[in-house]
Amino acid sequence: MKPKVAFFDFTGCEGCQLQVISLGDDLLGLLQVVEVVNFREAMSDRGQDYDIAIIDGAISQPADIERIQAIRKQAKTLVAIGACACLGGVNSQKNFRSPEDVRRYVYGDRADLIPTIPARPVSQVVPVDWEVRGCPITRSEFVKVISALLRGLRPIIPNYPVCKECRAHENVCMYDKGMVCLGPVTRAGCDPMCPSFGNFCFGCRGLIDNPNLEAEKEILKERGLSLEEIIRFFRFTWGSLDIAGDMYQYDFID
Amino acid sequence: MHEFELESHYVTRVEGHGHIKVKVAQDRIEEVRFEIPEAARFFEAIFQGRPYPEISLLASRICGICAVAHSSASLRATEAALGITPSPQTVLFRKLNLAGEMIQSHILHIYFLVAPDLFGVGSVIPLAQSHPEVVRRAIRMRKVGDDLCIMIGGRHIHPISAIPGGYYKLPAIKTLQGIRQSLEESFTDLDATVELIQGATLPDFSFPSEYLSLSHPEEYGIYDGEILSSKSGPTPEAGYRNKITEKVVSHSTAKHVNTEFGPYMVGALARFNNNYEMLSRRAKEAAGKLGLTPPCHNPFMNTVAQLVETWHFTEWAIELIDELCLRGITQEELHYQTSSGQGMGLSQEAFPGAAGKDKPPYQITPGQGVGLVEAPRGSLFHDYTYNAQGLITDANCIIPTNQNLAHIEAAMRDFLPQIWDEEQPRITGALEMLVRAYDPCISCSTHLVEVEFIK
């Protein structure tokens, strides 16, 4: 029997689900080996009997917590996809202001009706078995992880920085161009897409296991960034990560 | 006597979460609601305090479905605020990129979200078994638009190389010509799609309304121009607040958007009604075959208008590519910008090795700017105010689906008596189909949340 797969979206842009829909021929291949029972963006069926749950989006509303716990209970395997589900993503930028302030700015006097909690990755609420990182995920890595999972294998996800891939691509270093970049501490595997297209890395795949954040901070300081600017840069997608100790704790609101 | 309540939780095959709620008592419609329980993301608050080189990267993350439109509206707003003028070449590439997104998004809606209704199945998945040629065609057609976006932005979802003032990297002429070939080849598939949609019977429904879209004197405008209302004529984009008003309505926390005449419609049908004359020849022919003539007041025909537009954007993309190839592509010198740290404080003197040919940083002057583009689902406004450090102090985004919300509810109300003799599942199905025709993209939940009030 084919394993049953369900897709669930939380707080995010739905770009990662669109990446799945955009798999093209690989999507047809995937449908040969799994039965998709729930994929709200693309189908009317709403099956609640599934083996593999694929989650995109961050946890950012009180109701999300119960919902993800129920999904975890049902699913044998839970896969988080994309920067929002794996890291909290850009949603976490709101975590550093008072929730009242944020809600009032966007919703005015209806602010009280918008329930929100600091955005966080799925793994901070329930155990996650596998992750496909990136903002958005890359189609090839999604296929790689899912096919490994179906075969009972462990997919190999790089644990070295983006810089290594950039060198292999002979990209001009962002720092040599006078820009700043989070590539030195960010997990590779993106086929250094952003630097290859001329833009800096803002860390969408999260940190490598032993990042030298102090050195990264030093480099950024040397390039003229103030501590405030460095923190702002780190928080582009890492706002939910418990890193760098006091840098994050001093005004984190929970 | 009609008396019923119905709820459709999680309207499927739309991008985002939506609920329909209807209450009819003694032949009177007591309540019609289209609710959106999507989590709020607070993007406008997130923008505050962040520097200009980051903003378009953040903005595209509002919506993965129309990432290029958000990126483009954002870049235009930033440029308007900071007094940056992009080159004609940049503008051509941005238009081409938007055309690519229109093609892929319209095909996604037509084939993946609407076609299952035409075949009476729940999703595109069973079609892969029963009508493999249809699914292959859908995949092929989407890929053309997708490839076009990847070629220009580095990837479709969340463009990389587009920055205020230009592009970090541009494709080679040879790459452009390859895409041109695929665009040419998609004409056959477009013909087949017209045949497919010709066979569909859409509900006969007329709901005359005000239609709002961009309008450009020389083209079927999607990148710049004026706001055109079918009722009151043009308004300059920077004066959008004089034409449309966001308001919080009592039953919902979503800001509904209205003009002085009330609910209005944006999107493919609105653009078609307002700018028909500017469509390409073959797009007009397709409209003729599909029985779509302006003005069309049937919101169900929005899907048909999307197909007509796909013809247009395919032809337009070819024209734009030809123009770019004729001009030749220059990697233009860009003003120096850093990521987190603004151009401020960093200079080429401090970093002599830094991007030698590039121009010095922008001189930032505080200001406000509005960027309006047509997203696949309609007019998209970004409005930013920057301070002297190049940081955003105020932001406002008005997304297409937000503008259509009040119109969706009004149209459901008007449509209901036409179908309420049917069995309830059929009523629900018809209402879902009506909502889906607008191609609502609720994931752009910039300020788009509705909450049920428990009395």
Question: Which pLDDT band, with edges at 50, 70 and 90, does B16 fall under?
Answer: low
pLDDT score recorded for residue A251 = 40
B30 neighbors B23 (Cβ within 8 angstroms): yes
ipTM over 0.90: yes
pLDDT score recorded for residue B355 = 43
pLDDT tens per residue, range B150-161? 999 999 999 999
Residue in B97, B338, B359 to test binding to A, most A beta-carbons within 10 Å: B338
pLDDT tens per residue, range A131-190? 999 999 999 999 999 999 999 998 888 999 999 999 999 998 988 877 889 999 999 999
pLDDT at B452 over 50: no
Per cent of chain A over pLDDT 70 is 92
Rounded Cα–Cα distance for residues B360 and B381 (Å): 30
B229 neighbors B259 (Cβ within 8 angstroms): yes
Q: How distant is the Cα of B361 from the closest Cα of chain A, in angstroms? A: 11
Q: Which of B53-57, B262-266, B348-352 has the lowest mean pLDDT?
A: B348-352
Residue in B13, B252, B339 to test binding to A, most A beta-carbons within 10 Å: B339
Mean pLDDT of A219-241: 86
A25 at B interface, C-beta within 8 A: yes
pLDDT tens per residue, range B268-285? 999 999 999 999 999 999
- For helices B400-419 and B424-437, what crossing angle results, to 10°? 150
pLDDT score recorded for residue B254 = 60
Q: Which of B63, B160, B346 minimises the CB distance to A194? A: B160
Mean pLDDT, all residues of chain B: 86
Return the closest-CA partner of residue B21 out of B2, B8, B36, B12: B8
Question: Which pLDDT band, with edges at 50, 70 and 90, does A254 fall under?
Answer: very low
Mean pLDDT of B56-69: 93
What DSSP character marks residue A124? Answer: G
Q: What is the dihedral of CA B361, B363, B366, B367, to 10 degrees?
A: -90
- Of residues A41 and B362, the one with the higher pLDDT is B362
DSSP B88-118: HHHHHHHHHHHHHHHHHHHHIIIIIIIHHHH
* Residue B246 burial (CB count, 10 A): 16
Structure tokens at A70: 């129920």
Q: Which of B143, B169, B443 minimises the CB distance to A197? A: B169
Mean pLDDT of A66-79: 95
pLDDT at B395 over 50: yes
Structure tokens at B429: 């199905």
What DSSP character marks residue A152? Answer: T
Q: How distant is the Cα of B138 from the closest Cα of chain A, in angstroms? A: 9
Question: Which pLDDT band, with edges at 50, 70 and 90, does B182 fall under?
Answer: very high
Residues paired with B385 in a beta bridge: B368, B394
Q: pTM for the full model?
A: 0.92
Rounded Cα–Cα distance for residues B310 and B314 (Å): 6
Residue type, A108: G
**Residue B125: Cβ-neighbour burial (10 angstroms; 0-12, 13-18, 19+):** buried
Question: Which pLDDT band, with edges at 50, 70 and 90, does A94 fall under?
Answer: confident
pLDDT score recorded for residue A245 = 44
pLDDT score recorded for residue B442 = 56
Q: How distant is the Cα of A193 from the closest Cα of chain B, in angstroms? A: 7
Contacts 24+ apart (CB under 8 A), B344-350: B344/B389, B344/B390, B345/A224, B345/A225, B346/A178, B346/A223, B346/A224, B348/A178, B350/A224
